[in-house]
Chain A
Amino acid sequence: EPEVTQTPSHQVTQMGQEVILRCVPISNHLYFYWYRQILGQKVEFLVSFYNNEISEKSEIFDDQFSVERPDGSNFTLKIRSTKLEDSAMYFCASSDGRGLTGELFFGEGSRLTVL
């Protein structure tokens, strides 16, 4: 069964460093998303991406964050200069966008620890 894959599963970085989290969405999907979950808290929407541009972003998604689809398969989240509060689990998701079910398919997550 097709699935969303994320790498790395866990990354530890120093505050101020740049981090890139990678995702390979399901191949025929058109909508891509990043969500964040700080330990013990709710799953928060960061950004959605369609047709090679951001379609919506939350207030969390400030100038330190960027997303890119550099080729036909990868979807990346970059944090330019990490802060302690960026420590969280980051989930990538994709959707076929046909609106029939509205279902998003999630990856297993990338845990980011900022020291």
Chain B
Amino acid sequence: AQSVTQLGSHVSVSEGALVLLRCNYSSSVPPYLFWYVQYPNQGLQLLLKYTSAATLVKGINGFEAEFKKSETSFHLTKPSAHMSDAAEYFCAVSVDNDMRFGAGTRLTVKP
């Protein structure tokens, strides 16, 4: 079955700094890949998704992710962190309508 690994359970950056959250996937067939954000005590909000079109995907709130098949990666980036970006971020892989999540990365943004 497909799976994702998120490297780093906790990432801390300064406000204005680059955000890089890492995700590697494992799948026997071409997957669909997603990043979700979860703010405290809230549900899962879709940030962006890769569905086999463009490999560089732009999402909400200035985030983007690049699908690299050779590296089986789908890392999430944002050029300049904002305090409001502090949240838990989950990478997910979906094959045949079957979605699995990574363990999550908690992003802290320091002033």
Contacts and interface: CB of A to CB of B under 8 A. Distances in A.
Interface string A42-75: 1111001010000010000000000000000000
B86 to A, nearest CB: 15
Interface of A: 31, 33, 35, 41-45, 48, 50, 56, 91, 93, 95, 97, 99-104, 106-109
Main secondary structure of the interface of B (DSSP, over half): strand
Residue among B32, B95, B96, B99 having the largest count of chain A Cβ atoms under 10 Å:
B99
Nearest to A50: B97
Given A42-B104, A106-B43, A107-B43, A33 B32 contact: no
Given A91-B44, A109-B43, A103 B94 contact: yes
Shortest 9 CB-CB contacts between residues of A and residues of B: A102-B32, A102-B94, A108-B43, A43-B101, A42-B103, A106-B44, A101-B51, A109-B43, A31-B97
Given A43-B90, A109-B43, A100 B97 contact: no
A6 B99 CA distance: 19
A33 B51 contact: no
Contacts of A42: 90, 101-104
